[in-house]
Structure 1
Amino acid sequence: MFTGIVRGRGRIVAADLQDTGTRFRIRFPDDLLGGLETGASVAVDGVCLTVVRIAGNEIDFDAIAGTLALTNLGDRRIGDEVNLERSARLGDEVGGHHVSGHVSTTGVVTSIKLEGAGNHHLEFEVEPQWSRYIFLRGFLAVDGASLTVAEADPARGRFRINLIPETIRNTCFRRYRAGDRVNIEVEHQTQVLVDVVTRTIEAALAGRGILRPSNGSP
């Protein structure tokens, strides 16, 4: 479990193809190394990965083919920076929201402004089936960072996140460009609630002959 508060940035120094996926070697900042052990969970761009090797401040993680297909880790190259968060411990302050590290989908950056006057923002779009879970003022994890939806256009599947300077400083958002993919984790409770309400309404309408049952599909 994570909180969505990115604690630092790491840099990919190796990406070795293996039979089951890719082994990433990431150089960690010194202040994220304390107490880190093999088997620990770390959110890498919002993806929960397991530490498989520690060599000084270079940490190895295995990402299997399924993880690479469902997230943007397959887009990452040597030299890229990634957002990092160590797993939360009992009693830690939850400054963001509860994040599992299980990415729901990826979005595509449509607009980004991190310089100059006015609101700094990141806009992205998702596939239509995921728009139902994203609400104005709702929480999202974008590449592992807990953020609030500032503007929502569900009909087009487009959403805006406003970014404060501290978030820009602590994350990798400053390297993003339009067309880049970002990992999106919707809040689990929101997804469950939307699915339950949708199925309940569909069942009620189907019982009245107004709507054909959807066989439980969201």
Structure 2
Amino acid sequence: MFTGIVAGMAKVEKIIKKQDFQTHVLKMQPQWLQGLEEGASVAHNGCCLTVTQIDGDLVSFDVIKQTLAVTNLASLQPGDWVNIERAARFGDEIGGHSMSGHIFCLGTVTQVIDTDNNRKVWIDLPEAARKYALLRGYIGIDGCSLTISDTSASGFCVDLIPETLTRTLMGKVQIGNKLNIEVDPQTQAIVDTVERVLASRAQ
């Protein structure tokens, strides 16, 4: 489980590509290495991956075909950066919202509006995901727990404070970028339940 409070950004040092499979090697900061072991879970742009090898400050993660197909990890190149979060532990402060690290879909950045102390980012969603984007609801974007500040027929927008822009990749997103989206599981459960109830009453 993750909270969507991104610890910072890690650089992709190397990508080993095989048939329908990749190993991503990241350079991790010392504070993220404390207690880290093979088999531990770490979120990359919100996607839960498992540590497969640790060599000093270089940490390897295997990325399977399904993950490459549904996330933006497939587009990474050596030298790129990813948002990083270690798995939550019992007793940790939950500053964001509960996230599984299972990406629901990719969203496309359609508009970025920068002001002195704020950045507004509009994101279009695939049609199947749009019903889960509710005003003031939670959503995970590249691993960041954010609140939806407005919605449209095709997606939603979020407003970003300077701390988020500094700590995460959200300060670097541009129009056309594909971002990993994790819908809030409680929102999904409520929307799906209401749909089933209304469908049964209509029969």
Q: TM-score, with normalisation over the residues of structure 2?
A: 0.97
Q: Which amino acid aligns with 2:183?
A: V
AA matched with 1:168: L
Aligned to 2:178: 181
Match of 1:191 among 174, 188, 191: 188
Equivalence for 1:213: none
- Which secondary structure does the structure 2 equivalent of 1:100 belong to? coil
Which residue in 2 is equivalent to 1:212?
none
Q: How far apart are residue 174 of structure 1 and its match?
A: 2.3
2:61 corresponds to:
61
User: For 1:16 and 1:111, how far apart are their aligned partners in 2?
Assistant: 33
**Structure 1: tracts of 5 or more residues without a match:** 207-218
String of CA shifts for 1:72-105, please: whole Å, max 9, x gaps.
Answer: 1111111111000000000000000000000011
Cα displacement (A) at 1:16 = 0.8
For residues 1-218 of structure 1, what are the structure 2 equivalents within 5 Å? 1-114=1-114, 116-117=115-116, 119-153=118-152, 155=153, 157-206=154-203
> Which amino acid letter does the alignment assign opposite residue 95 of structure 1?
G
Secondary structure of 1:193's counterpart equals helix
Equivalent residue of 1:2, what SS?
Answer: coil
Distance 1:111 1:84 in 2: 25
**Contact kept? 1:71, 1:105, Cα under 8 Å:** yes
Same amino acid, percent of matched pairs:
40
Q: 1:89 to 1:18 in 2, by over 3 A?
A: same
**Displaced runs of 4+ in structure 1, greater than 2 A?**
116-119
The secondary structure found in structure 1 opposite 2:5 is coil
Q: 3-state SS of the aligned residue for 2:118?
A: coil
**Unpaired segments ≥5 residues, structure 2:** none
**Equivalent residue of 2:102, what SS?**
coil
1:129-163 deviations in whole A, cap 9, x for unaligned? 1110110100001000000000111x2x1211000
Distance in structure 1 (CA, Å) of the matches to 2:48 and 2:61: 10
Shift of 1:121: 1.6
